[in-house]
Amino acid sequence: MKVIIIRHGPVAYDWERTYSSSEFDKACTQYDKASIMRMSYDIPSFNSQQVYVSTLSRSRDTALEIFGNKDFICTELVNEVPLGSSFNCRMGLPLWFWNITGRVQWFLNFNRQVESRKETKARASKFIELLNNDGRDSVVVTHGFYMHTLVKEMQKAGFIISKSMRNYKNGDYAVAEK
């Protein structure tokens, strides 16, 4: 079984430099609803029998750009790890601060974030079980931060990963084979 895991295309959203906590939470919601920008994708061609996309529109829009109008399997199991402000604050703090502190809270399983690292790993494992039960060659169009967890969990489940990266840019992919 071969699975190509693709990060969605670039999102048409301009982040501000600073946000209060409520502004950051609102910006994250707006980002999740934003459309993608057109780009060319350098994805290896192979006869995939299934294309999985997340419930976030940028994943489905990317799949449409790459594969055209076909039936995709939409699942929350490959959604991006949600991100929110790390604490309540009216003062504008840098975007990088909110991103780092939110991801540190996720890593440490703090309940301030919508989903903990433990929950993300469980979600990835559930998706891998779905792939294994299906047993068909597949494509997964998902999200950058989530890809790291998915790839690690696939390795634990016996997949051999090629083209794994430290930082998945928009349109990048990894190949998993079992």
User: Residue 151 belongs to what H/E stretch?
Assistant: helix 144-156
Q: pLDDT value at position 164?
A: 72
Q: Which amino acid does the sequence have at 48?
A: S
By CB atoms closer than 10 A (0-12, 13-18, 19+), residue 123 is buried
Asked if pLDDT for residue 25 goes beyond 80, the answer is yes
Q: Could you tell me the residue ranges of all domains in the chain?
A: 2-177
d(CA 61, CA 12): 12
**Is pTM, for the whole model, over 0.75?**
yes
pLDDT digits (tens, 9 = 90+) for 60-71: 999 999 999 889
The structure tokens 């699975």 sit at 3
pLDDT digits (tens, 9 = 90+) for 39-58: 999 988 878 789 999 999 99
> What is the rounded average pLDDT for all residues in the chain?
95
Q: pLDDT value at position 10?
A: 97
Q: pLDDT value at position 47?
A: 81
Asked if pLDDT for residue 165 goes beyond 80, the answer is no
Q: Kindly indicate whether the domain formed by 2-177 is annotated with CATH number 3.40.50.1240.
A: yes
Q: How far apart are the first and last CA of the chain?
A: 5
Q: pLDDT value at position 95?
A: 98
Of 1, 3, 11, the closest CA to residue 162 belongs to 3
| 135-152 average pLDDT score | 96
